[in-house]
Amino acid sequence: MLQVPFIRDNKEAVITGLAKRNFDAKELVEEVINLDEERRALQTKLDNTLAESNSISKEIGNLYKTGKAAEANVLKEKTTALKEDSKAVTEQLNSVEENLKTLLYKLPNVPHASVSAGKSEEDNEEIFNEGNIPKLHDNAQPHWELAKKYDIIDFELGNKISGAGFPVYKGKGARLQRALIAYFLDKNTAAGYTEYQLPHLVNEASCYGTGQLPDKEGQMYHDSRDDLYLIPTAEVPGTNVFRDVLLNENELPIGITGYTPCFRREAGSYGAHVRGLNRLHQFDKVEIIRVEHPDNSYKAFEGMIEHVKDILRELKLPFRILRLCGGDTGFPAAMTYDFEVFSTAQDRWLEISSVSNFETYQANRLKLRFKNSDGKNELAHTLNGSALALPRVLAGILENYQTEKGIIIPDVLIPYTGFSIID
């Protein structure tokens, strides 16, 4: 979340920045500043009350030592009253701090200065495009038809077992899925990321820490009995590895990677754009997460983008990169780049990765700090990206690599699959 001193010192810049998201923050920012003034006044009152109480307590001790018990007893009555006052002020202060935190949770991150204003994905800016779009044979099919033809993904069986959005991978389809996961993890660890096996259920504090709550509460599966959430992305458990952690500056940067299934309650609509693997309630993803010094985070951000590029180049899939406008940038992100693969069979771009810099927004929620060279505690920057989300990568491979004889496996994956064609 945004830091109160930053909001107070940059009031107009915060309001203007959040307007890029089509978020009218003026009233909320005023409430935050006013509540913070009340908080500071109460804190000062509490500090003064406690200081006076401590001073009188010392005086009482001295009076007893000098045999002035009557005077000491008079002062003891005063300390009793001061303790009652401090208790009442503490309760007021706790209430104000809780209300202030609730308000801060409602404010999204301020977009980076280079992020343009915009209302939706229609206003995103294409900044990079690479790869040749293959020319397919006359009988080319979308991946959901290929999945049925080669019996590698069974959407109807998944629907019977669970419901729509829960596909069952079979045979070479399952092996290709496992191959992609292993390949992505190997690429990430070779680039210096430490592999983690992470929980698939997280507590409420973890969801607040990364910004999924309260913003995306309705999009997550929740077990009310144990008050645990199925993760919408490995970003949540992975970033919460560092919740309430104080690092030394020389420990930065830190990079971790992990494979998890992801679960999202997104309401499905109808049409080809959500058919097959295009939108699922359960899907697999390999994530990369970084904790960086604020001075280095945007250099690291560019490095993450180059890393995802390298993976897509090895898969030989045509792709493009979009810089998201303010209106399409996620709630906790300062800047996001989306990667999209071109599906020749569907004649459309499919999003397969988002790489984001959250600056201090998540770190402030997480209390993720490092001790800088001056010996002071400073908030770190957090970043994350998909490397990669599997469903649409798999869809892109099935569709773009299809031939009349079968689906060719990208060369880089053959050592992982053990076969070179699905036929």
The per-residue pLDDT for range 29-52, each reduced to its tens digit, is 999 999 999 999 999 999 999 888
DSSP string, 314-359: HHT--EEEEEPPGGGS-TT-SEEEEEEEEETTTTEEEEEEEEEEEE
With contact defined as beta carbons under 8 Å apart, do 382 and 363 qualify?
A: yes
Question: Is 321 among the annotated ligand-binding positions?
Answer: no
Question: Which pLDDT does position 202 carry in this prediction?
Answer: 98
Q: Is 122 annotated as a binding residue?
A: no
Instruction: For 105-130, write each residue's pLDDT tens digit.
Output: 999 999 999 999 999 999 999 999 99
E strand or H helix at 410: none
Domain boundaries, the chain: 4-105, 121-422
pLDDT mean over 324-345:
96
In this structure, whether the domain defined by 121-422 belongs to CATH 3.40.50.300 is answered with no
Average pLDDT over residues 272-282: 85
Q: Counting Cβ atoms within 10 Å, is residue 147 exposed (0-12), middle (13-18) or buried (19+)?
A: buried
Helix 11-19 to helix 26-65 angle, to the nearest 10 degrees? Answer: 140
Kindly indicate the confidence band of residue 273, based on its pLDDT and cuts at 50, 70 and 90. low
pLDDT value of residue 53: 84
User: Any binding-site annotation on 287?
Assistant: yes
233 assigned ligand-binding residue: yes
Structure tokens at 332: 């906790």
Q: What is the pLDDT of residue 312?
A: 98
CA distance 131 to 203: 42
Report the pLDDT averaged over residues 398-402.
97
Report the alpha-carbon distance of residue 324 to residue 116 in Å, rounded.
Answer: 8
- In the chain, pLDDT over 90 holds for what percent of residues? 87
95 labelled ligand-binding: no
How many other C-beta atoms can be found within 10 angstroms of the C-beta atom of residue 146?
23
Residue 271 — very low, low, confident or very high, per pLDDT cuts 50/70/90? Answer: low
pLDDT of amino acid 81:
83
Which residue in this structure is represented by tokens 């099935």? Answer: 398
Q: For residue 75, what pLDDT is reported?
A: 76
Residue 94 CA to residue 13 CA, distance in Å, equals: 29
Alpha helices in 66-151 (DSSP H): 69-105, 143-149
pLDDT higher than threshold 80 for residue 316: yes
Tokens matching residue 6? 């930053």
pLDDT computed for residue 104 by the predictor: 97
Residue 353 annotated as part of some ligand binding site? yes
The two structure tokens encoding residue 237: 């458990």
How do 319-323 and 254-263 pair as beta strands?
unpaired
- Contact (CB, 8 A) for 231 and 281: no
Strand order in the sheet with 125-130: 125-130, 319-323, 335-343, 348-359, 381-389, 282-292, 254-263, 194-195
Mean pLDDT of 405-423: 98
Q: Read off the DSSP letter of residue 20.
A: T
4-105 is a CATH 1.10.287.40 domain = yes
Residue 79 marked as a ligand binder: no
351 labelled ligand-binding = yes
- On the question of a common fold for 4-105 and 121-422, the answer reads no
Q: Which of 261, 98, 255 is nearest to 191 (CA)?
A: 255
Work out the mean pLDDT of the chain and round it to a whole number: 94
Q: Is the pLDDT of residue 268 over 60?
A: no
Gyration radius of the chain over CA positions: 27
Q: Which residues of 269-282 are buried (b: 16+ CB within 10 A; e: fewer)?
A: eeeeeebbbbbbbb
Q: What is the pLDDT of residue 146?
A: 97
Is it the case that residue 267 has pLDDT exceeding 70? no
Check residue 141 and give its pLDDT: 95
The answer to whether 305 is annotated as binding is no
151 sits in the region (left: phi over 0; alpha: psi -120 to 50; else beta) called left
